[in-house]
Structures are given as C-alpha cells and as structure tokens.
C-alpha cells in the first residue's frame, strides 16, 4: 500500500513537472506575441499586462486538457482570443477611450528617429484598435505570424472568410492611417 502511494505521488509530481516545463516552453516561445495580442485589446500597458496574465493562467489551466487536435500554437491563440473577448465583454467601453500617451524613455542615440518610430507604432496600434472587432481579431493574429489556416482554426471561421477579412482590414487600416496624417 505504501509503495503504491509513493508511486502515485512520484507520478503526479513528474506529470506536474512535465506540464510546467511544457507551459514554460510555450510561454518562452509565444509570450511576447501573446502580450502584443493582449495589448491590442486594451488601451493601457497595465490593462494589457493584466489581460496577458489572465491569458497565461488560462493556458496553464487548459494545457492538461490539450488533446492534440490542433497545433499547440493554435490552441494557445484560441485561448488568448477567448480571454480577450471575455475581457472586452467585462469592459465594453474601455477600448473606446483614448490611449494614454506614453513618454519616450529611451537613451539610445538619435532620439528623433526613435520618437518617430514610436509615434508610427502608436498610430498603427490606435488604427488597429479602431477596426471593427471581426477585422481586428483577424488582423492581430495575422500580424503575429499565424497563417490564414491557423487564424481560421483559432476563430472558428473558414479560410476564405479569413482572407477576405484580412484584405478588408488592410484597406480599413490604410484609410485610418491616412486620416491620422
């Protein structure tokens, strides 16, 4: 009886350690893009980090249930997408607020070019945030390097719909960016 208990505890510990290593590897590989995705659904860095933590917790909780029916990448982006939608549902008016301006704290040479680059990134992110939700979801995933097939899997759409939404999102982004200039 004692041997069975020790064996069960050893197996549980090994399983937990394996899950932790798998989780750590996924976050190391995809963490930066998941953080960018979270920030695309929020207006402030703090809200983006909160959403990112919610996403990573959800991935940790769902990882043992992963059945391998899709790639792990698609699996975690599906979780991130669902957590982002839940976040927006809890705070429907937050995305409509104007983004807070952040100061440039970079001490590298040529701060003028860095400021211009930062302003372009902020303008682009603001334009992405202004897209209708269906187009924003698709373009954020494409910008993170997911293929149209992977985006279709994550969002539960067919690949043709994804392609159309990507093209329309690009057109809308061009128009929104023209308005800002």
CATH code, domain carrying 156? 1.20.140.160
**Residue 166 lies in domain:** 2-92+112-180
CB of 151 closer than 8 Å to CB of 157: yes
Which residue in 74, 68, 86, 76 sits closest to 24, CA to CA? 76
Tell me, yes or no, whether 8 lies in a domain.
yes
Label residue 18 by pLDDT band (50, 70, 90): confident
Q: Which residues of 10-37 are buried (b: 16+ CB within 10 A; e: fewer)?
A: eeeeeeeeeeeeebeebbeebeebbbeb
Q: How many CB atoms lie within 10 A of CB 96?
A: 9
Tell me, yes or no, whether 151 lies in a domain.
yes
- DSSP-assigned letter for residue 100: P
d(CA 56, CA 54): 6
Q: How much is the pTM? A: 0.64
Q: Report the sign of the C-alpha dihedral through residues 158, 134, 137, 75, in that order.
A: negative
Poorest-pLDDT segment among 8-12, 36-40, 58-62, 128-132: 8-12
Tell me, yes or no, whether 155 lies in a domain.
yes
Tell me, yes or no, whether 131 lies in a domain.
yes
The count of domains in the chain is 1
Tell me, yes or no, whether 104 lies in a domain.
no
Tell me, yes or no, whether 82 lies in a domain.
yes
What pLDDT digit, counting tens, does each position of 53-84 carry? 999 999 999 998 888 888 899 999 999 999 98
pLDDT value of residue 68: 84
Tell me, yes or no, whether 158 lies in a domain.
yes
Tell me, yes or no, whether 159 lies in a domain.
yes
């Amino acid at each position: 009886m004692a041997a069975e208990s020790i064996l069960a505890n050893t197996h549980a510990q090994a399983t937990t350690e394996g899950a932790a290593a798998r989780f750590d590897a996924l976050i190391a590989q995809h963490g930066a893009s998941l953080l960018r995705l979270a920030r695309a659904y929020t207006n402030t860095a703090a809200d983006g980090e909160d959403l990112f933590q919610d996403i990573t917790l959800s991935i940790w909780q769902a990882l043992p249930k992963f059945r391998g029916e899709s790639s792990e990448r698609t699996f975690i982006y599906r979780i991130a997408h669902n957590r982002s939608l839940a976040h927006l549902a809890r705070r429907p008016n937050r995305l409509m607020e104007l983004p807070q301006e952040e100061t440039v704290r970079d001490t590298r040479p040529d701060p003028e070019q860095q400021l211009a680059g930062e302003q372009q990134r902020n303008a682009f992110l603001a334009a992405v945030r202004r897209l209708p939700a269906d187009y924003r979801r698709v373009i954020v995933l494409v910008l993170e390097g997911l293929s149209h097939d992977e985006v279709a899997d994550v969002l539960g759409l067919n690949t043709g719909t994804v392609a159309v939404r990507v093209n329309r999102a690009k057109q809308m982004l061009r128009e929104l960016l023209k308005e800002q200039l």
